Amino acid sequence: MLIRRPSDLPASEITDQSLFWNRRDFLKAAGLGAAAVGGLLPSMNLLSRRSDEDKLTPWEDVTGYNNYYEFGTGKDDPARQAGGLRTKPWKVDIAGEVKRPAVYDLGDLLKPFTPVERVYRMRCVEGWSMVIPWLGIPLGGIIDRLEPTSKAKYVEFTTLLDPQQMPGQQRGVLEWPYVEALRMDEARHPLTLMVTGVYGKPLPNQNGAPLRLIVPWKYGFKGGKSIVKIRFRETQPQTTWNIAAPDEYGFFANVNPEVDHPRWSQSRERRIGQLFKRKTLMFNGYGDQVASLYAGMDLRKNF
């Protein structure tokens, strides 16, 4: 477990009162005691009374046990092979149904925003889970600034296509480039983040540097890595895993313990680094915040 000192906390976390709840969630999940935060928060004793439920997954697992098929299909392949990916300079093409389309330098695209720290439970469709302190920018704010047109109903995220740098793309395990997408209301939901860092540090390449999507109530595959294009669309985009196996990976991919993968149950999960399996929660435990997005939808059909 990597215990961070207050000096490691991003300045935004310390100065911006509106981010209080993020910091509190982080400290709670990190289990940092009053000593560790040096009296930053008066209510620390309360916050340190957390169970093991959502203890942070160690840095070594977050950055050493990955899915990033562009760098191989083994869990340790990305950590071994992604290191050389050139993430500077990095351009992001903003396209489609939007009033400010352009190829932006990543720094310019994100300049008006301050990353916030959010501890999210993450659930992979393969049955494992982690608790990760992401550093990111709520996508909704970025979308507002880009001004989608009234036709924009979906947002599509495309990963870099570069078989030279990404050896996995020289093989046909998936259709390249990796594409994921959200409905506009999902993209604008305050939980949805464009992530640039983790554990208070810049994002390691194996986790999707320099920019990746995180949607904590959905299976991990919705969170495309190393994004070079964000396109606003009127119609529902074709997405990589849905193309690969439509009966196994739906477009919505909301975490749902009641809808099994055709080849395995989704009712339980293994928290990486912990011994016993735990129950998987509807919407990965974020139902109070996101269930209303799907009111009236049959979630067995729209899996």
Q: Which residues lie near ligand MTE (CB under 6 A)?
A: 66-70, 124, 159, 178, 207-208, 220-221, 223-225
Residue 165 corresponds to which tokens in the numbers above?
Answer: 């740098």
* Interaction of residue 10 with Mo ion, rule CB under 5 A: no
Calculate the alpha carbon distances from 204 to 126, 250, 269 in Å: 22, 28, 25
Give which of 195, 193, 189, 186 is closest to 254, Cα–Cα: 186
Q: Which of 31, 197, 220, 237 binds Mo ion (CB under 5 A)?
A: 220
Between 140 and 224, name the residue whose CB sits nearer to ligand MTE. Answer: 224
How many angstroms separate the CA atoms of 215 and 232, rounded?
17
From ligand MTE, Mo ion, none, interface partner of 102 (C-beta below 5 to 8 A by class): none
Residue with tokens 């191989």: 72
Give 47 or 254: the residue with its C-beta nearer to ligand MTE: 254
Task: Please list every residue from 42 through 71 that binds Mo ion, using CB under 5 A.
Answer: 67
Nearest approach, Cβ of residue 59 and ligand MTE (Å): 12
The distance of closest approach from Cβ of residue 67 to Mo ion in the complex, given in angstroms and rounded to an integer, is 5
Report the residue closest to Mo ion, judged by CB. Answer: 124
Q: Are 198 and 132 in contact (CB under 8 A)?
A: yes
Q: Using the minimum distance from each CB to ligand MTE, give the nearer residue, 44 or 203.
A: 203
The CB-of-24 to ligand MTE minimum distance in angstroms stands at 24
Q: Which does 207 bind (CB under 5 to 8 A by kind): Mo ion, ligand MTE, none?
A: ligand MTE
**How far is 178 from 169, CA to CA, in rounded Å?**
10
Nearest to 92 by CA among 113, 81, 111, 107: 107
Q: What is the CA radius of gyration of the chain?
A: 19
> Does the footprint of Mo ion cover residue 221 (CB under 5 A)?
yes
Give the H/E segment covering residue 22. Answer: helix 20-30
Residue 194's binding partner, choosing from ligand MTE, Mo ion, none, with beta-carbon cut-off 5 to 8 A by kind?
none
124 binds Mo ion (CB under 5 A): yes
178 binds Mo ion (CB under 5 A): no
**Contact between 174 and Mo ion (CB under 5 A)?**
no
15 exposed, middle or buried (CB, 10 Å; 0-12, 13-18, 19+)?
exposed
Interface residues toward Mo ion, by CB under 5 A:
67, 124-125, 220-221
